[in-house]
Amino acid sequence: MKLMLSYIRRHIGKFLTALLFLSMETAADLLQPTYMSFIVDNGVKAKDTGKILEYGAIMLAIAAMGALGAVMRNIYATKTSQQIGKEMRLDIYKKIQTLSFENIDRLQPSSIITRITNDVTQIQMFINGTMRIMLKAPVTCLGALILIIWRTPGLIPMIVVILIISGFLIAGNMRLGYPRFHRMQKRLDRLNQVSREFLSAIRVVKAFRAEEEEEEKFRQAAEGLAAAGVSAMRVMAVFGPLINLTVNAGIVALLWISTIQPPAEIGRLMASINYMTQVLFALGMVSHILNSAVRALASSRRVEEVLQEEPAQINHHGELEIRGNIVFDNVSFTYAGSAAPALENISFQAHAGEAIGIIGPTGSGKSTLVNLVPRFYDATSGRILIDGMDIRLIDMNILRKQIAVAPQKALLFTGTIADNLRWGDEEAAMEDIQRAAEIACAAEFIAETEYGYDTLLGQEGVNLSGGQKQRLSIARALLRKPKILILDDCTSALDATTEANVLQGLQREMTDMTVLLISQRISTVMKADRILCLEDGKVQGFGTHEELLAGCSAYQAIYNSQIGQGWKDRTYAGKAGAVYE
């Protein structure tokens, strides 16, 4: 509720203008029965046609005023509520961009998507409703009641009773409705999650003929949502008609009282009945709108959850020129929700301009280790220093500006090839882009596409092979001209020749960059200045290829698995070469 108010406050001018026009519209509605009673009491009873026409003209004028109010109210209310919805979406979106992965992991991506669209829409609908009916209903209600009391004061006790009962009913509706709508939104999350998983795993689903399982999963999610929906709607079904009944009881009571003490002027009684029906419709609207009010409350709670999420990392601002000295000082890291540490007491140093190869078995923590450098996550204990400074004290934007990452799974976005490469450097000239593409051995296949650098990519674009995506992702990283370059096994889908070409190009480029190079291939890491060998999140060895080969058993094992046979082949290839030379 506080959340909605804070947004409304930003547009208080427009909001109040809308309410002003709304009151105009409502007043017009309210005045009609009173003038009607004048027609009956002063015109009809007195058989005065002139009076009838006079009051009729006034009523027409009032109707015109109401029309003006309604049209203006519509324009203002719509603009304001849409503006608020727009700002709310943007705020959530901006917030997501500042959150760390720890936050995102906790909130669940598919839930965030539901919140930014569906939940905001619910709130927006409610705020719009507030300005058109929500306020009109109570105002009509209040106005009608005042007019009834003014014209027939004897009815006060009865009206008080009706209001108290209605109040209780409305409160009960809210109480029972809120948790049900909250549950409904949660089930919607689940539905989104299932469909998102299905869409991103579509190849596996088809290959394993798991369509029926996915169907069942979706069916359950949809059924869960429907069940929650039924239970929420049924609350409305119970309370809505009850409120109507209460007001109808009021009308009966009003007539009953009138039979006992017949009023002096029948016009007054007619007006009162008319007003009672207006109260009836107003309260009917209230119970109808409660639907969206309760829903909006449940949604606004969920939006607040995102907006109140504290980024798990603190950011210090300040200027800094990085040379690229990296020190891991006794660093340990455990993922949130996991018991075992992913990294344990890691210590090593990379000098500026040095290339460090990182090798180790699957799941040994290689990617985790490099993810700590651009602060995707913060170390659980120990420190990481860049140029002697704890990275937690460096402005995150400045830090990341000096680091470029080419990840294992190349992520490209909807847009052209050039758009995707420009991520590295927005102002990059076309020549720079082409050069980066050449170094990454991507220029050739880009040239082969129909539109070259303007070819559309991403979910809506053409099919790129895994290796082509990786090369684009390397080019993107290079375009950044970083001080620290992280290559996270980003050549795994490249054929050997292309990989060799890419690595050669990189070596030429890498002269003043510190490089962290993860690979499974000994032949790749061998080219680094020094190699860090990891196993189970611990450092097994750190040194040059020769040093490790001599003193690190883990490294030897990897070496033997690859080059060991290579030795055999070397002799074989030698022979083969001899035959053909």
Partner 1 sequence: MSRVTAPPPVMGGRMRRGMPVEKPKDIKRTLSRLWQMTKGSRKGLGWILLLSGLASGSAVLGPYLIGKTVSLIDERSPAALMLWLLTAAYLGDWLVHFLQQYLMAAAGQRMVYQIRTNLFNYMKTLPLGFFDKRQHGELMSRLTNDVDNISNTISGSLTQLIMYAFTITGVFIVMVLMNLLLTAVSMLSVVLIYLLTKTITRHTRKLFRQQQQILGRLNGHVEESISGLTMVKAFSQEEAMIEEFIENNDRYCEVAVKAQIWSGYLMPITNVINNLNYVLIAIASGIMASKGSLAVGTITSFLLYSRQFSRPFVNIANIYNTFLTAVAGAERIFEILDEEPEPEDVPDPVELTRPRGEIIFQNVTFGYLPGQTVLNNIGLHIPAGTRVAVVGPTGAGKTTLINLLTRFYDVDEGAILLDGHDLRQYRMKDLREAFGVVLQDTSLFGVSIRENISYGRSDIPFEKIKKAAVISGADSFIRRLPQGYDTVLTQGGAELSQGERQLLSIARAVLMDAPIMILDEATSSVDTVTEQHIRKAMLTITEGRTSFIIAHRLSTIRDSDLIVLIKDGRIAEMGSHEQLMRQNGDYALMYKTQMGLV
The Cα 117–Cα 85 span in angstroms is: 9
Site string for partner 1, 115-154 (x = CB under 8 A): -xxx--x------x---x----------------------
In the bound state with partner 1, the residue whose beta carbon lies nearer, of 1 and 411, is: 411
The Cα 119–Cα 339 span in angstroms is: 34
Could you tell me the smallest distance in angstroms from the CB atom of residue 5 to partner 1?
A: 21
In the bound state with partner 1, the residue whose beta carbon lies nearer, of 121 and 329, is: 121
Work out whether 112 is an interface residue with partner 1 (CB under 8 A): yes
Determine the longest span between alpha carbons in the chain, in angstroms. 128
Judged by DSSP in three states, 310 sits in coil
Residue 545 contacts residue 533 (beta carbons within 8 Å) = no
Could you tell me the smallest distance in angstroms from the CB atom of residue 105 to partner 1?
A: 6
Residue 36 contacts residue 274 (beta carbons within 8 Å) = yes
- Whose CA is closest to 221, among 189, 178, 196? 189
Q: What are the DSSP calls for 478-535, one per residue?
A: HHT--SEEEEESTTTTS-HHHHHHHHHHHHHHGGGSEEEEE-S-HHHHTTSSEEEEEE
In the bound state with partner 1, the residue whose beta carbon lies nearer, of 351 and 481, is: 481
Q: Which of 1, 12, 53, 160 binds partner 1 (CB under 8 A)?
A: 53
Helix axes 266-308, 156-200, angle to 10 degrees: 30
Work out whether 314 is an interface residue with partner 1 (CB under 8 A): no
Q: Which of 149, 163, 170, 266 binds partner 1 (CB under 8 A)?
A: 266
Site string for partner 1, 317-356 (x = CB under 8 A): ------------------x-xxxx----------------
Q: Which of 3, 8, 18, 39 binds partner 1 (CB under 8 A)?
A: 39
For residue 42, the 8-state DSSP code is: I
In the bound state with partner 1, the residue whose beta carbon lies nearer, of 218 and 348, is: 218
Q: What are the DSSP calls for 163-198, one per residue?
A: HHHHHHHHHHHHHHHHHHHHHHHHHHHHHHHHHHHH
**Binding residues for partner 1, how many (CB under 8 A)?**
193
Site for partner 1 in 505-544 (CB under 8 A): 520-523, 526
Could you tell me the smallest distance in angstroms from the CB atom of residue 205 to partner 1?
A: 7
Q: Which of 1, 10, 171, 213 binds partner 1 (CB under 8 A)?
A: 213
The Cα 94–Cα 88 span in angstroms is: 10
Site for partner 1 in 539-578 (CB under 8 A): 557-558, 561-563, 565-566, 569-570, 572-573, 576
Q: Which of 16, 23, 27, 32 binds partner 1 (CB under 8 A)?
A: 32
Could you tell me the smallest distance in angstroms from the CB atom of residue 433 to partner 1?
A: 14
Per CB under 8 A, the segment of 11-19, 148-156, 160-168, 461-469 that binds partner 1 is: 461-469
Could you tell me the smallest distance in angstroms from the CB atom of residue 44 to partner 1?
A: 4
Per CB under 8 A, the segment of 3-11, 92-100, 157-165, 380-388 that binds partner 1 is: 92-100
Q: Which of 264, 429, 430, 579 binds partner 1 (CB under 8 A)?
A: 579
- Whose CA is closest to 377, among 110, 94, 105, 95? 105
Per CB under 8 A, the segment of 152-160, 235-243, 379-387, 427-435 that binds partner 1 is: 235-243
Q: Distance of CA 382 to CAs 41, 147, 331, 385, 392, Å?
A: 90, 74, 4, 10, 11
Helix spans in 136-265 (H): 136-151, 156-200, 202-207, 211-260
In the bound state with partner 1, the residue whose beta carbon lies nearer, of 35 and 348, is: 35
